[in-house]
């Protein structure tokens, strides 16, 4: 019997985390990923817990495994284990975000009107995608230092190793400026695609550019033979509902814990 969509999506996320890491260290109940080149990226420097694990012992495990890092980040992928870990981690000063895994169950949409193409980051600092990402990151994090902004933009280079194909898609306005973007991670042999980092530059909000980027990602995934197309959304943030209106259905949850 084939595994269900939730387990396949989880397995893909875990494989992606390992493959894009600079270093992987096994720990009880999971593994630690590290990437010294992007030290400010919590995505690339965190614990992934798959279980079994001791919820009460998880804060001490994180402190031991991540002692040399200024932050703590733990993702618990088992949706039964995650809530059990929350009390001990919250007592230890962690914030808790519930991640919702959503599978695209609607029809593949028709092509969008806006121009969407694959982009590299381009030369530093002049690449169009790099410029757009950097400007928006500074809007989101006005107090962040230059190293943090650099790591959060440049970490896309590490993502190239996470899947068989990794595409950065960008929607453009009529003048050619990048208005919105999305990551697309493809594993055609397994029939799986993940869509992430769908975002719009603030000057272009509510003009359909994010729809164009998402539509392009879905169409490319379908063309690559990826019948399972999924993404991850914050349970308490508005994009969850936005994705729901565009054919995505919640199939499971993971739990992310952070301490700064």
- DSSP secondary structure letters along 206-232: TSSHHHHHHHHHHHHHHHTT--EEEEE
Q: Look up residue 20 and give its two tokens.
A: 């894009």
Query: Model pTM greater than 0.85?
Result: yes
* pLDDT tens readout for residues 60-92: 999 999 999 999 999 999 999 999 999 999 999
Distances (CA, A) of 6 to 30, 54, 56, 104, 128: 18, 23, 27, 12, 36
pLDDT at 3: 63
CB atoms within 10 A of CB 114: 21
pLDDT at 203: 93
- DSSP secondary structure letters along 147-198: HHHHHHHHTHHHHTTSSSEEEEEEEE-TTS-EEEEEEEEEEGGGTEEEEEEE
Alpha-carbon Rg for the chain in angstroms: 18
By mean pLDDT, which of 69-73, 77-81, 126-130, 234-238 is the weakest? 126-130
Angle between helices 81-91 and 58-65 (to 10 degrees): 70
* pLDDT tens readout for residues 181-196: 999 999 999 999 999 9
pLDDT at 123: 78
pLDDT at 149: 97
Is residue 2 over pLDDT 60?
A: no
Is residue 242 over pLDDT 80?
A: yes
* pLDDT tens readout for residues 14-60: 999 999 999 999 999 999 999 999 999 999 999 999 999 999 999 99
* pLDDT tens readout for residues 137-179: 999 999 999 999 999 999 999 999 999 999 999 999 988 899 9
Token pair 């308490």 in the structure block, residue = 236
| CA 168/CA 207 separation, integer angstroms | 20
Q: Look up residue 55 and give its two tokens.
A: 């919820």
- Going by DSSP bridges, is the β-strand pair 228-234/95-104 parallel, antiparallel, or unpaired? antiparallel
- Give the residue ranges of DSSP H helices in 46-155: 58-65, 81-91, 128-140, 146-154
Name the strand (E) or helix (H) holding 19. helix 5-20
């Amino acid at each position: 019997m084939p595994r269900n969509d939730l387990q396949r999506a989880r397995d893909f996320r875990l494989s992606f985390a390992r493959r894009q890491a600079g270093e992987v260290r096994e720990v009880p109940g999971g593994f630690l990923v590290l990437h010294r080149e992007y030290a400010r990226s919590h995505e690339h420097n965190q614990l992934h817990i798959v279980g079994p694990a001791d919820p009460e012992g998880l804060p001490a495990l994180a402190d031991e495994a991540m002692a040399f890092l200024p932050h703590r980040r733990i993702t618990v992928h088992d949706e039964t284990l995650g809530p059990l870990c929350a009390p001990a981690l919250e007592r230890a000063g962690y914030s808790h975000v519930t991640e919702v895994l959503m599978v695209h169950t609607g029809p593949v949409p028709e092509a969008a009107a806006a121009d969407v193409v694959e982009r590299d980051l381009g030369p530093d600092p002049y690449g169009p995608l790099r410029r757009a990402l950097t400007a928006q990151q500074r809007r989101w994090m006005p107090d962040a230092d230059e190293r943090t902004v650099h790591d959060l933009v440049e970490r896309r280079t590490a993502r190239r190793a996470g899947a068989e194909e990794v595409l950065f898609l960008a929607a453009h306005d009529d003048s050619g400026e990048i208005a919105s973007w999305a990551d697309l991670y493809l594993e055609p042999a397994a029939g799986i695609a993940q869509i992430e980092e769908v975002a719009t530059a603030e000057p272009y909000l509510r003009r359909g550019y994010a729809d164009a980027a998402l539509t392009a990602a879905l169409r490319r995934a379908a063309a690559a033979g990826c019948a399972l197309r999924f993404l991850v959304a914050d349970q308490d943030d508005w994009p969850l509902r936005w994705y729901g209106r565009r054919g995505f259905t919640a199939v499971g949850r993971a739990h992310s814990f952070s301490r700064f």
